Amino acid sequence: MPQRPLTLFSLISLASPQAAAWRVDLEDPATTLALLKLNAVVGVTGHFDAQGKLNSMGVQCALCHSTVDDSFAPGIGHRLDGWPNRDLNVGAIIAMAPNLQPVANLLGVNVATVKKVLNSWGPGKYDAELNVDGKAMRPDGKSAAVLIPPAFGLAGVGNHTWSGSRPSIPYWNAYVAVTQMHGSGTFIDKRLDVASNPVALKTKLGEARGTPDKVTSKLAALEYYQLSLPAPTPASGSFDREAATRGQQLFEGKAKCSTCHVPPLFTEPGWNLHTPAEMGIDDFQAKRSPGEQAYRTAPLRGLFTHSKGGFYHDGRFATLNDVVEHYNEHLRLGLSAQEKAALVEYLKSL
């Protein structure tokens, strides 16, 4: 991807040698306003009047699905579109809203409970189905929020998020734009308005028709842009090439990984969903999806971007070693310690 102007999570365009000597007070609201006027904050848009007064603000897809490369300082650098923002604590930000009573009313709880739920998400996670089924916690007591997924490397890939039956990019873009970001537009999926989804049933979420519709006309162009985002390449020296070569042989042989993660897509061409039993995990998140209650075979390109937050939909596996060990036990692969290590190096190379 070509480099974009440096932004402050970006900061501002930095072109001179003297820039490193600048001192900017990021706690000063005036700095925030200046950055918004420069369109230098990834994922946030400020609307100003003729006198330069901020009238309103809005968020973009980039808020969660882009980050920066830290090339100038932590949180300051060139944009990386499609990368999941695993530093952003969306729940904590929403919990600071001055009036959460409408959310509490929607969920049928008090404001204190809403704040507790939001603060349980943690960095890099979001629960886009809380306003559908009202399930804030998993049966094990952990947060029901899932990791923000990558938005890169989706060309040729079916089912574009963690679970099934919502297979397309336009579906999720419309869903998020209308039901999460509260844009004025149309989203239709009447499968959501059922008894098992009491919040969606109450609000008739499955047939939202905002006037004017400012969303539908944007879906095609947005899909094309997302499909144009390639998965990033791991940095040189970030993995052992010799071990990765051995790991590839295991991936395509003894470890059986390529049975589902078919190269070069690294997911199944066609129907790429699996039951929780096949994957050896619980079915909580799969059951939140309408229709097919299954998990997607996630494509593996750019796995190194998952280093923050972990792996699988909820980050339950902290490292690739943990993922390999899970399948080694679940599928009874009989991999040795050396083979598991080589397989991890191959996954790091993708």
Which residue has better confidence, 307 or 207? Answer: 207
> Which string of DSSP letters, residue by residue, matches 172-215?
HHHHIIIIIS--SSEEE-GGGSSTT-HHHHHHTTTEEE-SS--S
pLDDT mean over 260-289: 95
* Residue 10 in this model has a pLDDT that exceeds 80: no
- The confidence score (pLDDT) of residue 22 equals 56
**pLDDT above 90 (res 123):** yes
Higher pLDDT, 148 or 21: 148
What pTM did the predictor assign? Answer: 0.89
Mean pLDDT for 274-298 is 93
Write phi, then psi, for 6 (nearest 5 degrees): -60, 140
| High-pLDDT (> 70) share of the chain, % | 93
Cα–Cα distance for residue pair 284/150, rounded to 1 Å: 21
User: Given this model, what pLDDT does residue 110 score?
Assistant: 97
Average pLDDT over residues 171-194: 95
Q: In the chain, where are the structural domains located?
A: 6-81, 90-147, 169-227, 241-349
* DSSP reduced 3-state for 78: strand
Beta strands in the chain (DSSP E): 6-8, 44-48, 54-59, 66-68, 76-81, 125-126, 146-147, 186-188, 207-209, 273-274, 295-296
At 330-349, the pLDDT tens digits run 999 999 999 999 999 999 99
At 310-330, the pLDDT tens digits run 999 999 999 999 999 999 999
Is 23 a residue whose pLDDT tops 80? no
Statement: residue 208 has pLDDT above 80: yes
Dihedral through CA 330, CA 335, CA 336, CA 338, nearest 10? -110
Q: What CATH number does the domain located at 241-349 have?
A: 1.10.760.10
Q: What's the CA gap between 169 and 160, in Å, rounded?
A: 6
Mean pLDDT of 123-143: 95
Return the pLDDT at 2: 37
Please determine, for residue 20, whether its predicted confidence score (pLDDT) is greater than 80.
Answer: no
The chain-wide mean pLDDT, for the chain, equals: 91
